[in-house]
Amino acid sequence: MTLVGTNDKTLASPLGDVLEIRGGRPLRGQVDVKGAKNLATKAMVASLLGSTPSTLRDVPEIRDVEVVRSLLEVHGVTVSEGDEAGSLLLDPSGAESAGFEEIDAHAGSSRIPILFCGPLLHLLGQAFIPDLGGCRIGDRPIDFHLEALRNFGATVDKEPNGIRLSAPEGLHGANIELPYPSVGATEQVLLTAVRAKGVTELRNAAIEPEIMDLIGVLQKMGAIISYEPNRVIFIEGVDQLHGYDHRSLFDRNEAASWACAALATDGEIFVKGARQYEMLTFLNVFRKVGGSFDITDEGITFRRAATPLKPVMVETDVHPGFMTDWQQPLIVALTQSTGTSIVHETVYENRLGFTEALNKMGADIVVHAQGLDGEYRRVARRELEQAAVITGPTPLRGADIVVPDLRGGYAYVIAALAAEGTSRVSNVGIIRRGYEKFFDKLTALGADFDIVG
Ligand code: EPU
């Protein structure tokens, strides 16, 4: 299959890496959000656990999906279009070991390959995972994953080009307490425990809606998973799982991004497919900033309630807190609030670097090493750039900017659209890793831009 992408060694840069954006126009119209990047890719990996084919619906057309599809294919899974537009049929009946070079071709392309560990160990007794990619937003260790896999009885060896795992005797249930409710490590445990012998108890688990949807997928496959308050999940291993038929949860990160685009450009965007329940925390902040929204069964319409916008204090956190993936587009809108806002990033170590370019465009953002309070958070009390203090309103003006990562890059495009004058935004290919039909959606909303490289 053809892979499109930007920052990894196999994927050539596609046309559409540089945009010239003429700002100052409100974005108005409708965008459709499909399945969540952070669920669909994991559900695709789960298909490896079944003895029969799976159908995944509302799969977004994004590069991470292409990477996972390709990695499944080199492991013998047949992936074809399903029975409706946007669905994939994943048939694992021919699953087999893949060669080093085929696997290594995916090095640096995504973080999802780490989730192949458990399914491949169950299927083949061994696995080789290439070096991971994903956004450069600070140190992104995988120690929780590897520790959990060792607890299940796997042997884990780090090699120069990746990680080699084996479990010739099979995997057994484990008692695991995560040091932090990591999304990926929780998924690792789920995807491994469902077919391990015996019961697994996972404490301090992540409980993001995408995790709950993955639990739903696994239950459809025949898994027995229950959860208790306080982040405890029990998984009773079973001998066999079968395929699933599942419609992906909508992408709430994409929905929040377009909501902030409406706020920052003073437009009005109907996000078809967005749902209230998974966005409760976001909607509260959106309202406090001065946004308003109408919720229907079809989606959510976002706009400003009043100008000027108001300042807020926000701390990113694990669910049900304010997601780390929501802060970047929100910060662009906060440059237009009257007063001082503070955004404290507590999930990643280095996810505020993108604000430098916003300052170049006229924003007044100072990033401090200390956060809002002394309470324990994963990255609290370290000399890291954690807290952005945004003083507004500051008019934004066009500039030449280079996209640093997925969410920061989206924020740059909104900033360019809100700014007076022309901006040249390069490295835009990264944004298309997580935002389906990005250029088409911008066009549908009336954005004035050209693809110039
Ligand atoms: N962490 C460790 N050790 C580990 C695993 C995580 O120290 O073994 C740390 C991370 O470095 C980070 C924190 O724990 O500081 C949280 O990481 P988590 O494992 O929860 O994140 P993830 O699974 O790598 C997913 C999403 C991210 C999203 C986070 C938080 C995917 C593919 N990625 O990452 O999405 O920000 O959860 O919700 O699901 C994005 O979509 O742009 C994106 C980065």
Residue 303 has which token pair?
């706009």
CA of 294 to the centre of ligand 1 (A): 31
Same domain? 281 vs 389: yes
Same domain? 389 vs 260: yes
**Sign of the dihedral defined by the CA atoms of residues 55, 56, 59, 61, in that order:** negative
pLDDT of res. 381: 45
Same domain? 236 vs 138: yes
The residues pairing with 365 across neighbouring beta strands, listed in sequence order, are 390
Catalytic pick among 40, 48, 123, 135: 135
- The arithmetic mean of pLDDT across residues 16-30, rounded, is 96
Same domain? 316 vs 364: yes
Residue 260 has which token pair?
């902030």
Active site residue 135: yes
Residue 19 has which token pair?
């945009």
> Cα–Cα distance between 377 and 361 in angstroms, integer?
32
| pLDDT confidence bin for 4, thresholds 50/70/90 | very low
CA of 182 to the centre of ligand 1 (A): 6
Number of folded domains in the chain? 2
| pLDDT confidence bin for 384, thresholds 50/70/90 | low
Range of the structural domain that residue 158 is part of = 37-247
Same domain? 332 vs 440: yes
Q: Which atom of ligand 1 is nearest to the CA of 253?
A: 41
Q: Do the domain assignments include residue 2?
A: no
Q: Which residues have a Cβ under 8 Å from the Cβ of 69 and sit 6 or more positions away?
A: 1, 44, 79, 88
Q: Which atom of ligand 1 is nearest to the CA of 134?
A: 44
Same domain? 426 vs 281: yes
360 is in an annotated binding site: no
| pLDDT confidence bin for 2, thresholds 50/70/90 | very low
Which run of H or E residues covers position 185? helix 183-193
Asked if the peptide bond before residue 308 counts as cis, ω within 30 degrees of 0, the response is yes
111 is in an annotated binding site: yes
pLDDT of res. 376: 44
Residue 321 identity (one-letter amino acid): G
- The arithmetic mean of pLDDT across residues 357-383, rounded, is 72
The average confidence (pLDDT) of the chain is 92
> Cα–Cα distance between 39 and 28 in angstroms, integer?
28
Q: Which residues have a Cβ under 8 Å from the Cβ of 306 and sit 6 or more positions away?
A: 290
Same domain? 28 vs 93: no
Residue 25 has which token pair?
């126009």
151 is in an annotated binding site: no
Residue 372 has which token pair?
């809002």
Same domain? 367 vs 434: yes
Reported in sequence order, the residue ranges of 58-198 that DSSP labels E, i.e. its strands, are 78-81, 88-91, 126-130, 155-159, 162-166, 175-177
Q: Is the pLDDT of residue 377 over 60?
A: no
Same domain? 21 vs 79: no
The residues pairing with 451 across neighbouring beta strands, listed in sequence order, are 19
Q: Angle formed by the axes of helices 327-334 and 280-289, to 10°?
A: 10
Q: Which atom of ligand 1 is nearest to the CA of 407?
A: 42
> Cα–Cα distance between 453 and 438 in angstroms, integer?
16
Ligand 1 binding pocket mutation candidate from 7, 33, 37, 38 (most atoms within 8 A of CB) = 38
pLDDT of res. 123: 95
Question: Residues 417-426: pLDDT tens digits?
Answer: 999 999 999 9
Question: Residues 89-143: pLDDT tens digits?
Answer: 999 999 998 888 888 888 888 889 999 999 999 999 999 999 888 777 677 889 9
> Cα–Cα distance between 107 and 111 in angstroms, integer?
9
Q: For the chain, first and last CA: distance in Å?
A: 24
| pTM given for the model | 0.94
Q: Are 204 and 178 in contact (CB under 8 A)?
A: yes
Looking at 247, 280, 309, which one is the last position of a domain? 247
Residue 268 has which token pair?
């009005």
Q: Are 398 and 422 in contact (CB under 8 A)?
A: yes
The residues pairing with 191 across neighbouring beta strands, listed in sequence order, are none
Q: Residue of the nearest CA to atom 14 in ligand 1?
A: 182
Q: What is the DSSP letter of 248?
A: P
Residue 399 has which token pair?
């500039």
Same domain? 322 vs 189: no
Looking at 247, 274, 301, which one is the last position of a domain? 247
pLDDT of res. 279: 98
Q: Are 331 and 303 in contact (CB under 8 A)?
A: no
Reported in sequence order, the residue ranges of 208-316 that DSSP labels E, i.e. its strands, are 224-228, 232-236, 245-247, 268-272, 291-295, 299-304, 313-315
